[in-house]
Structure 1
């Protein structure tokens, strides 16, 4: 850390499926508004999330995730959710950026010296396409530096549970080295957390943490592979004011 510069406090939260208003199969703390759940239940859940975080509902930044590589910088003045993007980046204190998942990898990034954070939705397609490099580039444009960044890879489907065709595993491995693996039964599989960890390290990210939970195995979390339709958990990060 540069001399004389105090680190800001960055908060990170990952929700579970418990404690909300949604009914099966979205029971009960579903935060995804695009999965077929009752919009009133989703709104109630999002209001409760804001209350639990100690933030106003308008200080939660949501996005329309499309499994791409677009990263969008937000400052809290936007009239609605960010559209057609898979990463939200901000330098605005007290503005929480959110990624919604139910097997994909949520990645929370932050530079406590620059005061820049990002929430990234990194599924197979987006991870392969380079959503993490896009998020890092956007953070750097706001003054962040990879060596000062901290990353958390949130709960997602693990390599032992994520069976895919061999050609798919080979294709993702080509673009995201370290992802290809064997499933529990010995078939071709993907470990996106491993691939993303390697990518973040290659970009020089200073600290990388991994939540070991598998969304398929842990029934306190939503999993599209285990049960579809289903809800979405949220990975949230913000800079305290």
Structure 2
């Protein structure tokens, strides 16, 4: 069982995961709002360079060197993407979330890291497998990757339309028929679906879908950690868009190391 630890910076709480111990990293709480990733990087490792994105619920994964090609000049000169990956040492990559899953990945051999924003749309577009494949293209072996999924909305409280669940489920169950996809998902030993009393709805565990996607790539469960916190059900620590309908976020980041 992977362990998660609470830390404090200036009296404010943030989380780390033992699976990512080689890297300075943090899954920050709402109490750091509205501090920027630049400030949070100074909390973790002064001197590291911070990179962030204008997230758009897609599956584009960029390196810091590629950011300027995707910049949206009308919005703070931020690149439109949902994942960052870097091999250069002392680069901090950040993602924001408020129910979606923040995913931090590190490679124990190369030191390279990734930070990904995996909501249901990004998960349906397989952002996490896409990032893993980019890391492989940069020299990573699957066995060397460590994946931590931070606080996000839990399946038991995340109601979605059956059509949404089928769209996401098609990344695991290669069917075109939504009913067959849903039935096959329910039959899985670690099903990401729970029933719902409302017709046409189910409860969906997005982090479990990402886990299943990673397993299908060949990554073992020992290489994956899921934070035991639900943003919706932990108002004392985390913003939840479903709960508050406010565009406030918590940041998650990891800093690359040289190997």
Q: TM-score, normalised by structure 2?
A: 0.73
- Cα distance, 1:76 vs structure 2: 9.6
Contact 1:128–1:175 (Cα < 8 Å) also in 2? yes
- Cα distance, 1:55 vs structure 2: 2.5
- Cα distance, 1:230 vs structure 2: 3.5
Once superposed, what is the RMSD of the aligned Cα atoms? Answer: 2.6
| Structure 2 residue 237 is the aligned partner of structure 1 residue 237 | no
- Cα distance, 1:47 vs structure 2: 4.7
Match of 1:224?
241
- Cα distance, 1:107 vs structure 2: 0.7
Secondary structure in 2 aligned to 1:225?
Answer: helix
| Structure 2 residue 183 is the aligned partner of structure 1 residue 179 | no
Match of 1:197?
211
- Residues 101-148 of structure 1: CA deviation (Å, up to 9, x unaligned): 000011111112012110010000010011112101111121111111
* The structure with more strand, counted as a fraction of residues: 2
Match of 2:113?
117
The whole-number CA distance in structure 1 between the counterparts of 2:170 and 2:106 is 27
The whole-number CA distance in structure 2 between the counterparts of 1:48 and 1:117 is 20
* The structure with more helix, counted as a fraction of residues: 2
Aligned CA distance change for structure 1 residues 82 and 133 (closer, same or farther; 3 Å): farther
The whole-number CA distance in structure 1 between the counterparts of 2:44 and 2:66 is 16
Match of 1:4?
none
Q: Of the candidates 67, 73, 77, which is equivalent to residue 57 of structure 2?
A: 67
Match of 1:55?
46
- Cα distance, 1:167 vs structure 2: 2.4
The whole-number CA distance in structure 2 between the counterparts of 1:93 and 1:184 is 50
Q: Matches of residues 78-157 of structure 1 in structure 2 within 5 Å?
A: 83-157=79-153
Aligned CA distance change for structure 1 residues 185 and 211 (closer, same or farther; 3 Å): farther
Secondary structure in 2 aligned to 1:134?
Answer: helix
The whole-number CA distance in structure 2 between the counterparts of 1:196 and 1:96 is 23
Contact 2:155–2:194 (Cα < 8 Å) also in 1? yes
Aligned CA distance change for structure 1 residues 10 and 54 (closer, same or farther; 3 Å): closer
Contact 1:127–1:176 (Cα < 8 Å) also in 2? no
**How many residues are treated as equivalent by the alignment?**
211
Contact 1:180–1:189 (Cα < 8 Å) also in 2? yes
Uncovered stretches (5+) of structure 2, i.e. residues with no partner: 1-20, 72-76, 174-190
- Cα distance, 1:189 vs structure 2: 1.3
- Cα distance, 1:74 vs structure 2: 2.1
- Cα distance, 1:174 vs structure 2: 2.0
The whole-number CA distance in structure 2 between the counterparts of 1:98 and 1:142 is 19
Q: Of the candidates 190, 201, 209, which is equivalent to residue 225 of structure 2?
A: 209
4+ residue runs over 4 A deviation? 75-82, 183-187
| Structure 2 residue 158 is the aligned partner of structure 1 residue 162 | yes
